[in-house]
Amino acid sequence: MSGTRGLLIQGLYKKATADKGVPSYQGHALMENWKGFCGGGIAFCLWLRRAVLFAIIASTLLLARVYPQTHVGVRGSVERITVYGKSLEGNLDGDSPDRYVSIYLPPGYKTDASRRYPVLYFLHGFTDDDAGWYGFKSYWINLPAVIDMAIDRGEARPMIVVTPDAYTRFAGSMYSDSVTTGDWEDYVVRDLVSYIDGHFRTIPDPSGRGLAGHSMGGYGTLRIAMKHAGIFSSIYLLSPCCLVPSFASNLTPHALSQVRGVHTDADFARAGFFTKVLCASAAAWSPDPQNPPFFLDLPTGDEKERRMVMAKWTANAPLAMIDQYITSLRRLHAIAFDGGSQDPLSGSLKVLDRELTVYRIQHTFQIYPGTHVSGIAKRIETKTLPFFSRNLSFGQPAQ
């Protein structure tokens, strides 16, 4: 990226977030430790804490009202299986390479053995897992119910939807390749896609594969699409995190003390959300096989060490690497992304919109009234699933 345009991007991002009076923190620190990390913006942090709590409660109540299972005329089925990841073997986190994968099979899949379907690979966010999203435990969203409703209302065509469990030792893989977390990019594009094509009636072609995700999953969607061209044809990012690495560039003394206090897995489990984000980011983007017990380098050392860590994190920020992957982005059939007007992360989406526009890459972009989590179920029903229904191939391969 040229120096002039790099400064322009940085300036646009700061302006987009400053216009809302929000910090340029690239993670969705929903509930914990905001006061200590906001560096003086206590009033805003307390407001955000209350607003996000309200959004979570409201989203849960709305989901129960809008997606009652008894009102759906057609229903698919859900399976939860394990898919072994050769790409995850030997990861220093010690996470099993046998990963849970939740799969939504559309209505008719089990009755028409000759029909094939496109596949939407949907990546969940940080601290989430597939079990929560697919209704195997109580959660703020039930993705199968959302899909059923979209199909029943004619908003979406029947498709297979697949979500791997990317919850790791540090609560999220960032869908990145690392000796510490394992090669999660390769797990998705090689191990998982190969398994699904080999065991389900898919349309085994890029035109029949879409990739989408929320928050950390939105980040993973863009990262994977840029770095692995020719696997997926269309992508949709919902409130993606981590497009720029600025959230850790100016850690407060309180933040530093919290991160430096994590020495064991028990410490990590008790840590606040922001501390967990830093640990997960380090495991994914600044791994260190010579630094047990966590095998990662945090941006907490002296100035020289901190600059090196942040350089590695910057190298993993999609808006920092986008110029190197323009050809890959141009190969995509369709690109869409959106975010809430009250989500601090939406500032980076405006920069992504500008970058794609500069390169004349067609895309759809929207900022809608909402926060990082409010309205996600409705967005998936009315925006994401219809997007893939329009852009994926539903044609049956020649026998």
What are the tens digits of pLDDT across the range 224-276? 999 999 999 999 999 999 998 766 667 788 888 899 999 999 999 999 999 99
How far apart are the C-alpha atoms of 80 and 365, rounded to whole Å? 33
Domains of the chain: 1-391 (3.40.50.1820)
Q: What is the pLDDT of residue 59?
A: 47
CB neighbour class for 203 (10 Å; exposed up to 12, middle 13-18, buried from 19): buried
How far apart are the C-alpha atoms of 200 and 193, rounded to whole Å? 11
Torsion of CA 15, 21, 25, 31, to 10 degrees: -160
Could you tell me what percent of the chain has a pLDDT over 70?
79
How far apart are the C-alpha atoms of 355 and 318, rounded to whole Å? 11
What are the tens digits of pLDDT across the range 16-43? 444 333 333 333 334 333 333 344 344 3
Determine the Cα angle at 358 with ends 356 and 363, to 5°. 30
Angle of helix 303-315 relative to helix 273-285, nearest 10 degrees?
Answer: 80
Q: What is the pLDDT of residue 398?
A: 53
Q: Which residues does 348 contact at the CB level (< 8 Å), separation at least 6?
A: 13, 16, 26, 240, 243, 244, 319
What are the tens digits of pLDDT across the range 176-201? 999 999 999 999 999 999 999 999 99
Q: Which tokens is 363 given?
A: 């895309």
What are the tens digits of pLDDT across the range 65-105? 444 443 557 799 999 999 999 999 999 999 999 999 999 99
Q: Which residues does 311 contact at the CB level (< 8 Å), separation at least 6?
A: none
Mean pLDDT, rounded, of the chain: 85
Q: Which tokens is 181 given?
A: 């977390």
